[in-house]
Amino acid sequence: MKNSNNLTKFDTSLQKFNSIHLRDQEQQESWQEISRKIAEDKKRSSTPFLTFALSAVAMIGLAIVALTTFQGYFNKQAENPKVVVEEDHEEEKVQENDAFLLEDPTKENIEAMLLEREVARFEWAHGEESVAFVDEVENSGPVMIWHVGEKSAKVVPGLAENIGTSFIWSPDDSKVLVRSGTSIVSSGVVVDAASVENIGALTFVMGPVWSPDSEFIAFGQMDSEVTPVVATEIDGVGLSVYHVKSGGVISLIPADEENYYIPSVWEEELNYFDISFETSERVEKAMDVSFLYGESSGEDVGAPLNTYHVFAPFDIGPVHNWEEDMEFFAVESTNYVVGMGTVAAAATVFRLYEVNDAKDEVRLIRMSGPEPEAFMSLLEKENWVDEVATQLLETGVEKDELFFAYDASVAEELVNVNGEAMWLYPVQVGKDTFYFKRGEGLWAKHFANDRVMNLYMEEQFVYRNYLP
């Protein structure tokens, strides 16, 4: 009966989620209900669905109070991370807080000090070796992490207490998501527990869920371009995954007008709720997300040049000096390939590539000079590809630069390409990295060579589908 009552309250909360208009008395009652639920939460059943139901009640209740002072928050700006982060926090160093100092920093002594200082919001890691908390004695007190065995707590640079601050530890306790905002729409900053540094940020709807290996966070992602069929305080919500290392996002289910999607439990499969905007009816579903882990090193990819479509045409940008487009033309009965395109929107450039006999490496061996007219005149000939290749061999600027090489010991990487996490195969070219996508060819280049560093003072990244 208790489970049934909880589910009934969850249904009611979902209906309120679509239309929230409460009086002050109802707000106070909501706060009381939340407090009671938080206390019960410590003793709750391990049943995944009940866990979600109780958590959802608390989240919806928090939103009821916060919505009266945060009207308009849920529009377009909800797509961008909003956290209390001081400017230039990246240059700040992790500092110890002398107000939280113990000579014998056991777990019991640390918790006793937190309770003595009336710290209401703290969360121990699963192994109870670290605790994240906010010093609420101060106005907008700092976010801190205290490791058992260390005499003082460490302040997370640039983060301060905000409305609804809470903590969600990763399964392996290596990271903690510092959440701020309402229980419906929140921002989160990912903090590395060991270094106590910010390593990522995202905005999500309702509750996020860590992957079992602590590398991903599943979350409901707002899409301002999608309007629900009924009036709500949010836009459409799709199901996405945030990759902590790259900072990129992978869309699993796009937002639509009829339903919204919220993760619930991530074990071998990712469980999520498909919820109707109109009726609040929910269906729990599971998704196989093994594809998130891409190719493991040593996998047989067959013919690498074909697998990665190395000679597919590409157009990458947007950094002007490294904007580049290229098409490729094989020279019959040889290992040569002619490339023709432009760099930095300048004159046409011609290149000659050579494929090794093993068909797993491609090198740039010749390139046209600053005056390409001699090559342009050859384009009118029927066998122009052969003619251009011959001209490059005879008069082109000699080069010996790697373009592609396959090594079975090198695995694909999740790379952040303009906010999207994408599995790409890395090819190290000196200090630079060329990234190839299966079946699609060269997708991005990361430049860190001396010329780039001297010109820009920082590394540069160019990629496909850029906006000029």
* DSSP class per residue in 94-118: PEEEEEEE-SS--HHHHHHHHHHTT
Express the helix, strand and coil content of the chain in percent, nearest 5 each: 25, 40, 40
Closest CA to 57 of 1, 18, 123, 6: 6
Interval 193-226: pLDDT, tens: 999 999 999 999 999 999 999 999 999 999 999 9
Closest CA to 145 of 136, 157, 135, 154: 154
Q: What is the mean pLDDT of residues 139-154?
A: 89
| The pLDDT of residue 167 | 95
Percent of the chain with pLDDT over 70: 76
Closest CA to 126 of 169, 76, 185: 169
Name the pLDDT band for 159 (thresholds 50, 70, 90). confident
Closest CA to 134 of 104, 114, 109: 114
**Residue 334 corresponds to which tokens in the numbers above?**
């040889």
Name the pLDDT band for 173 (thresholds 50, 70, 90). very high
H helices of 352-416, where? Answer: 373-376, 384-395
85 near 189, Cβ under 8 Å? yes
| The pLDDT of residue 66 | 39
H helices of 142-234, where? Answer: none
| The pLDDT of residue 136 | 72
Strand segments, DSSP code E, in 4-135 are 95-101, 122-124, 130-134
Q: In what order do the strands lie in the sheet with 259-266?
A: 259-266, 270-276, 282-287
- Running DSSP on this structure, what letter comes out for residue 138? S
Helix (H) or strand (E) segment spanning residue 172:
none
Residue that has been written with the tokens 């952040």 in this structure: 416
- Running DSSP on this structure, what letter comes out for residue 85? B
Angle (deg, nearest 10), helices 48-67 and 2-18: 40
Name the pLDDT band for 1 (thresholds 50, 70, 90). very low
pLDDT tops 70 at residue 9: no
Please state the φ and ψ torsions of residue 233, each to the nearest 5 degrees: -85, 0
User: What mean pLDDT value characterizes the chain?
Assistant: 81
Q: What is the mean pLDDT of residues 316-341?
A: 95
**Residue 429 corresponds to which tokens in the numbers above?**
């070219």
CA–CA gap between residue 151 and residue 101 (Å, rounded): 6
| The pLDDT of residue 174 | 97
Question: C-alpha distances in angstroms, 397 versus 323, 335, 351, 365, 367?
Answer: 21, 19, 9, 8, 5
Interval 284-294: pLDDT, tens: 999 999 888 87
**pTM flag (> 0.85):** no
Interval 339-391: pLDDT, tens: 999 998 888 999 999 999 999 999 999 999 888 888 999 999 999 999 999 99
| The pLDDT of residue 163 | 65
Helix (H) or strand (E) segment spanning residue 446:
strand 441-447
422 near 415, Cβ under 8 Å? yes
Say whether 308 sits in a helix, a strand or coil.
coil
| The pLDDT of residue 4 | 40
Please state the φ and ψ torsions of residue 220, each to the nearest 5 degrees: -85, 120
Task: Compute, in degrees rounded to 10, the torsion defined by CA atoms 296, 299, 305, 310.
Answer: -10
More confident position, 159 or 455: 455
Helix (H) or strand (E) segment spanning residue 409:
none
pLDDT tops 70 at residue 32: no
**Residue 138 corresponds to which tokens in the numbers above?**
């101060």
Name the pLDDT band for 321 (thresholds 50, 70, 90). confident
pLDDT tops 80 at residue 39: no
**Residue 96 corresponds to which tokens in the numbers above?**
């110890």
Q: What is the mean pLDDT of residues 19-38?
A: 39
pLDDT tops 80 at residue 8: no
Question: C-alpha distances in angstroms, 215 versus 170, 244, 409?
Answer: 9, 6, 21
Phi/psi-derived region of residue 372, left when phi > 0, alpha when psi is between -120 and 50, beta in every other case: alpha
More confident position, 291 or 126: 126
Phi/psi-derived region of residue 85, left when phi > 0, alpha when psi is between -120 and 50, beta in every other case: beta
Percent of the chain with pLDDT over 90: 62
Interval 82-113: pLDDT, tens: 223 333 334 556 667 678 999 999 999 999 99
Residue that has been written with the tokens 């409305």 in this structure: 163
CA–CA gap between residue 436 and residue 430 (Å, rounded): 16
Interval 254-277: pLDDT, tens: 999 999 999 999 999 999 999 999
333 near 365, Cβ under 8 Å? no
| The pLDDT of residue 139 | 55
**Residue 397 corresponds to which tokens in the numbers above?**
């600027």
Structural domain boundaries in the chain: 2-67, 76-293, 304-463
Interval 334-344: pLDDT, tens: 999 999 999 98
pLDDT tops 90 at residue 141: no
